[in-house]
Amino acid sequence: MQGAIKYEGGSIYLEEVGPEHTTVRYKLKELLYSKRSPYQLVEIADSYDYGRMLILDGCVNVCECDEANYHEMIVHIPVLLHPGPVNALVIGGGDGGTVRELLKHDRIRRIDLVEIDAEVIDSCKRYFPSLASSLDDPRVHVYTEDGVAFVHKAQSSQYSIVIVDSSDPVGPAEGLFTLEFYQSCHRLSDDYGIVVAQSESPYVYPEILKQIHTLFCRIFSTVLPYRIPMPTYPSGQIYMMMGTKQEVLSLTNDASRVREFLLRNDSSLRYLNEQILNSAFAISGDLKRLLVGEI
């Protein structure tokens, strides 16, 4: 995906191309921040319709209007499925939204976050404090390095949950979409370990989603894709790929723990509730056919 901020007739727009022949255009109120890091162009802007946006190389990566959908689903689905989550690893996610949600689980004692770009962390601390202040919590350890190198050298079986909260598979994130990388994530997971990875959309990059599914099926006992509605992601939705070391446990196996979590966090959860959890793994006929290679 590509995009760029443009100035036209006294107004500012973000134009994002994805897939190849579709352009989404957001009118912006103000460009608040713009700096080229060694990895990407980092920009933060206020939009008219969707609130504040973190824009990396011209593509919306985090947006006020739908960040809760993304961060609540990428975190609470795997954490609520794990029988005893203790340590979590986040690769990418320098905006802090994923960590903010992980911190809602008292049983998680340590969170390691590996973000390649210090500029993302610093700018989000300034412009997205409701997300990035989570990175200052004493349970959180931030490493500014390449996630690929980190997972290859990290000690086995130390994490209950591994979350790949990456940008698209171009530039620095390319190595986060390979068999070797997912194998390392599997090796780092404990006996009931669960790995979740950002996996694009069947309407934008069907081949990427299918490829991640194929790689996960070679590694994990159970593989479940799940969908998140995302107005600011091209095609309005994004998928997560979840792989578990054990046969999948059901969210209803520990229904009282799930209910207690939802109740305790009722006022801060913007997207997740019991109905959404119960249908989290429902997928369409077309997606089933894509994943088995019929389309």
Q: Which chain residues interact with ligand SAM by CB under 6 A?
A: 39, 61-62, 70, 91-95, 114-117, 120, 146-148, 165-167, 172-173, 175-176, 198
Nearest residue to ligand SAM, by Cβ distance, number only? 92
Give whichever of 28 and 173 is closer to ligand SAM, judged by the CB atom. Answer: 173
Give whichever of 61 and 160 is closer to ligand SAM, judged by the CB atom. Answer: 61
Give whichever of 148 and 224 is closer to ligand SAM, judged by the CB atom. Answer: 148
Q: What's the min distance (Å) between Cβ of 216 and ligand SAM?
A: 18
The four Cα atoms 26, 225, 267, 95 give a dihedral, to 10 degrees, of -50
Contacts of 202 (CB under 8 A, 6+ apart): 209, 239, 286, 287, 290
165 is catalytic: yes
Contacts of 244 (CB under 8 A, 6+ apart): 81, 192, 193, 194, 195, 220, 221, 222, 224
Rounded to whole angstroms, the Cα distance separating 196 from 240 reads 6
Q: What's the min distance (Å) between Cβ of 250 and ligand SAM?
A: 27
For residue 229, say if its preceding peptide bond is cis, omega within 30 degrees of 0: no
Q: What's the min distance (Å) between Cβ of 266 and ligand SAM?
A: 24
Catalytic residue (choose from 66, 95, 165, 190): 165
Give the total residue count for the chain: 295
C-alpha count within 13 angstroms, C-beta hemisphere, residue 104: 23
Closest CA to 108 of 149, 79, 78, 151: 79
Give whichever of 111 and 148 is closer to ligand SAM, judged by the CB atom. Answer: 148
β partners of residue 225 = 241
Q: Are 94 and 37 in contact (CB under 8 A)?
A: no
Q: What's the min distance (Å) between Cβ of 159 and ligand SAM?
A: 15
Q: What's the min distance (Å) between Cβ of 166 and ligand SAM?
A: 5
The conformational region for residue 279 under phi > 0 = left, psi -120 to 50 = alpha, else beta, is alpha
Give whichever of 47 and 61 is closer to ligand SAM, judged by the CB atom. Answer: 61
Residues designated as active site:
165
